[in-house]
Amino acid sequence: MKFSAWNYYNREVEYCFGCHHAAHLFGCVNMTKGEYCILNKQYTKDEYEKLIPKIKKHMADVPYIDKLGRTYGYGEMLPAEISPWSYNESASFEWFPITKEEALAKGFKWREPDLREYKEATIEIPNHIKDAKDDILQAILKCNDCGKNYQIIQKELDFLRRMNFPTPRQCPLCRDRARIKSLNPMKIFERICAKCKTKIETSYSSDPRYAEGSGEASRPEIVYCEKCYQQEVY
């Protein structure tokens, strides 16, 4: 699967979106169990295999040019300017947050807040799940962090009651971003193995107060090289 997004249980697909349980697709959208299709049009196996090299050559010879003058020939991911999502509502924003100005300068879209999604809550969330009545399913709740509205659905309420969990006071997006903050960043830091002192690279950052490569850590985890880790574990 190449240069595609949101495709599951496929093989040999390129430039596709939302296609599942399919094979040998090129430039297709929202197809299920399709095979040997180009731009959602059906072809025979022989026709498909003859057309694909010609299409790839044409994409290389006549690349797409976006508004910033960047070219996208065959082998490039789809241009950001035709993405159905804005940058600040994508997973990229959660891992690599940037300002609106930076996003627009890079050719990304930006979604402005919709005031209709920031109304006052219609119910006060109880402190204990046992006090939550079924009318909470029709209520509009307001996130304690960002102020955006959200709702509780029946399956979620059933789960909260079964597990004796409190009703969440943050919207799903803020809850997701809080979980991401607990993960290591998508960055690599130079460190020294705590056992053999070999230089290694890891996603566990070193304390900037210490000299680079000193092995002192700002986190409680002990960082080993692969060899020492295996010796400790096995």
* Mean pLDDT, the chain, integer: 90
Which pLDDT value is given to residue 82? 87
pLDDT of residue 206: 72
pLDDT in tens, 5-32: 889 999 999 999 999 999 999 999 999 9
Residue 209 has pLDDT above 50, yes or no: no
Among the listed residues 107, 59, 104, the one whose alpha carbon sits nearest the alpha carbon of residue 79: 107
Please say if the pLDDT value at position 212 is more than 50.
no
Please name which of 26, 22, 5 lies closest in space to residue 14, comparing C-alpha atoms. 26
Find out whether 188 and 201 touch, Cβ atoms under 8 Å.
yes
Closest CA to 149 of 175, 131, 181, 122: 122
Cα distance between residue 29 and residue 3, in whole Å? 13
> What is the token pair recorded at 163?
């597990």
C-alpha to C-alpha distance for 168 and 174, rounded to whole angstroms: 11
In angstroms, the CA 98 to CA 14 distance is 30
Report whether pLDDT(181) > 70.
yes
Alpha-carbon distances of 172 from 109, 122, 127, 141, 154, rounded to whole Å: 22, 18, 19, 12, 15
Neighbours of 209 (CB within 10 A): 8
How far is 157 from 178, CA to CA, in rounded Å? 21
How far is 5 from 18, CA to CA, in rounded Å?
7
Which residue bears the tokens 């059933």? 158
CB 31 within 8 A of CB 22: yes
Of the candidates 184, 178, 176, 170, the residue with the CA atom closest to the CA atom of residue 217: 184
pTM summary value: 0.70
Residues recorded for the chain: 234
